[in-house]
Structure 1
Amino acid sequence: MELTVLPTDHRIPIESGSNLLELLRKHGVPVSYSCLAGRCGTCRCRVTEGKVVESGRDVLSASVNDGQFVLACQTTLTGSCAIEIPEADEVVVHPAKLLKGVVTGIDALTHDIRRLRLRTNKPLSFSPGQYATLQFASGHIRPYSMANIEGDDELEFHVRLVPGGRASTYIAETLKEGDTVRVSGPLGTAYLRRLHKGPMLCVAGGTGLAPVLSIVRGALAADMDNPIRLYFGVRSPRDLYGADMLRDLATRHPGLDVHIVVSEDADGSGYRGGLVTDAVAQDLPDLTGWRAYVCGAPPMVEAAQILMRQRGLPIERIYADAFYATGI
């Protein structure tokens, strides 16, 4: 039995029952991974031929036309097969950590958004655009994206206060400077692809601005000179935050073009009106050769992905994180 790894065309002898990620690492195949527990999504790959078992679930490559995505750390090989590792040249390895963080600040950015700043006992290694899980107390656990980049003195998170949300209510009403927070991560696959040389499109809605800020800040720190179009959509002017941060980034990155879009009460605000996806559609008729990062509410993320695919951008070049408002 043999495992074929695309696009590198590695051919690896296998035994039934082998774990896919362990086998790839053993044979020196470049592959991204982090948590090793099926939570972070970093080791996602695609089965193009044959059959595997993922977490007790049979996966046939023929079940969809272009193969089936699986998590390598949760996948058992049962026979000869072929897999495709996306972007083998963009491998990131950030071993998952559980850190102790101390609250250094909770700042009001709008009527319902808070900036939470933490200083951890050890550095957290992550790629721009990833997120971490924060535990404030028993039953108060929630994932939030970092807005900063690796190496900063503090971790920065943007928290929207959700009515009835246990974690956000705790942050707003109970959490204070000096309190401790458990930080675990990093998680997520919508991280900055540093080897890409073409134009970048960043679309953020609400607190989806946090990972987009991290991505743009990461591009600046890496001296990337890619043209970047950043679209930030909010409901009304009172929901807008971060405009000064975006202007500051634009002054330091001549290729950064920022568009703020307000869907309600835009008249007299000085900002574009309508939906953020409509602004993208008006400005960018062809996205061939681009990479896109999309973060925000699920309906916006889904609409943006559909639009981008219609404009020539393959789904594997769209890196998305949907922010779900839940009661936790």
Structure 2
Amino acid sequence: NICIYLLAMISSLSMVSAFAVFFLSCSSNVQAFGPVMRPAAIGGTRYVNNDARPMSSSVLLRMAEGGPPQYERRAASAISNEEVGQGTYLIRVAADDEKPVEYEPGHVLALEILNPEKGEDDEEEWLRGPYTVTRSDDSSFDVMYRVVGKKSQTFSAAVVKSTDSINNNARFQFGGKFKVPILEGIHHPEQLERIVLISTGVGVGPQMGFIEQALCDDAFAHIQIDLYAGFRNAKDVCCSDTLNDLATAHPDRFSWEAIVSDDVGRTSDPYALSKIANHAKKDSDSVNDKTATATHYHLIGNGSMVNEFKAGLKEAKIPDDRVTIEMYFNHKEIPRPDTVKSITDAVLKGRNSDHTSSDTKTEK
């Protein structure tokens, strides 16, 4: 009886193996981000590509465990790759086909470039990653990236021949449309008086694109937009010329300031908080919901900043639908209680009193 049982088990296992091989051989219609992608950075609808190559069993396993999303790939070419801050680039990518490019600032897409260090048959011949759209038109889009490690160094080296010349032989692919764009996430703009944008690093890119978009939208014509962009040092500051031009063209609607931590501390330190709170609007009399405020906050950047501001705003009774976020890394960073309290106190002070801004800077 034991022998019969063992033979039955072996037969069952053989059938399972055969099914697995069959399933893998029929999987050529799906494309996942692959082993160099960070699945946690992207969420949303899954997309199917009928022309993609077969997936490995490891990719299938990650899918079964709620792994990376799938998307349709489109061939593309780089038009420009401008250094907009020390080690930070704004790349413009155009689709090679005639189909429209339908993105808005804040959308996340998958961008791939053929890895010059790998062979055509290598599983990792495409460098893949999630990138947040800065701006887009009907045929192209811009994304901002910073060169910080081997992957981004390889990406940057594959894009350019030299400091001012695009490598026309670089092969790109893009696809997917994830997350909610910034403008779409701001509900009932008619109830707002102010939008506060707080960013770290390349998070300023999509916020800049949103500002351009909102300044041309009649629904936002009555709203003051204030950007506080955090950077480590003055050389890291990005897109100053573009942001200054926008502020000059719309002095009554837009202002911005680079919060350089080496000089004045982080965006959650006293100097920046005094700026953020000083212009804060009181609750609008026209708002029907007594708990709603006339200010919307959009936070984008590292998890430390986002989580601390999110917690501080919650403690200040800012409704959840008046706070939108996008995190790039350190997603599980635990907010520091003292920083959360400082944010809460600053926001409450700005909402409940008319006070004068302090220009006292935090010494580092």
**TM-score between both structures, scaled by the size of structure 2:** 0.57
Q: Is 1:136 paired with 2:134?
A: no
Q: Which amino acid aligns with 2:246?
A: L
Q: Which runs of 4+ in 1 moved over 4 A?
A: none
| SS of the residue 1:174 aligns to | helix
From the superposition, tell whether residues 140 and 321 of structure 1 become closer, same or farther in structure 2 (CA, over 3 Å). same
* Alignment partners' CA distance in 2, 1:312 and 1:257: 25
Is it true that 1:228 corresponds to 2:212 in the alignment?
no
Query: Superposition pairs for residues 170-181 of structure 1, below 5 Å?
Result: 170-176=154-160, 177=166, 178=168, 179-181=170-172
Summarize the alignment of residues 1-328 of structure 1 with structure 2, pairs less than 5 Å apart.
36-37=45-46, 98-120=73-95, 121=97, 122-137=99-114, 138-151=125-138, 154-164=140-150, 166=151, 168-176=152-160, 177=166, 178=168, 179-193=170-184, 195-197=188-190, 198=192, 199-223=194-218, 224-225=220-221, 226-253=223-250, 254-264=252-262, 266=263, 273-278=264-269, 279-282=271-274, 283-284=276-277, 288-324=293-329
Q: Which has the larger radius of gyration?
A: 2
For the 8 Å contact 2:110–2:129, the answer to whether it is kept is yes
Which letter maps to 1:244? D
Number of aligned residue pairs: 231
Change (3 A) 1:170 1:325: farther
Q: Which amino acid aligns with 1:322?
A: M
Calculate percent identity across the aligned residue pairs.
18
> Which ranges in structure 1 are unaligned for 5 or more consecutive residues?
1-33, 40-54, 58-73, 75-95, 267-272
Any conservation in 2 of the 1:190–1:293 contact (CA below 8 Å)? no
Which has more strand, going by share of residues?
A: 1
TM-score (norm 1): 0.63
Q: Give a deviation string over 1:126-180, Cα, whole Å, max 9, x none.
A: 23321211011234101111111444x531111111223x2x1222222233223
Change (3 A) 1:324 1:289: same
Amino acid of the structure 2 residue aligned with 1:219 = A
Decide whether aligned partners of structure 1 residues 156 and 175 sit closer, same or farther in structure 2, where only a CA change above 3 A counts. Answer: same
C-alpha separation in 2, matches of 1:117 and 1:56: 34
| Aligned partner letter, 2:77 | V
Which of 279-288 and 296-305 deviates more? 279-288
* Paired residue secondary structure (1:277): coil
| 2:206 partner amino acid | P
Aligned to 1:92: none
* Structure 1 residues 243 and 37, CA gap change in structure 2 (3 angstroms): same
Contact in 1 for aligned 2:103/2:133 (Cα 8 Å): no
In the TM superposition, what whole-angstrom CA distance separates every residue of 1:11-42 from its partner, at most 9, and x where no partner exists?
Answer: xxxxxxxxxxxxxxxxxxxxxxx963299xxx
Distance 1:233 1:98 in 2: 34
Tell me the amino acid that sits aligned with residue 84 of structure 2: L
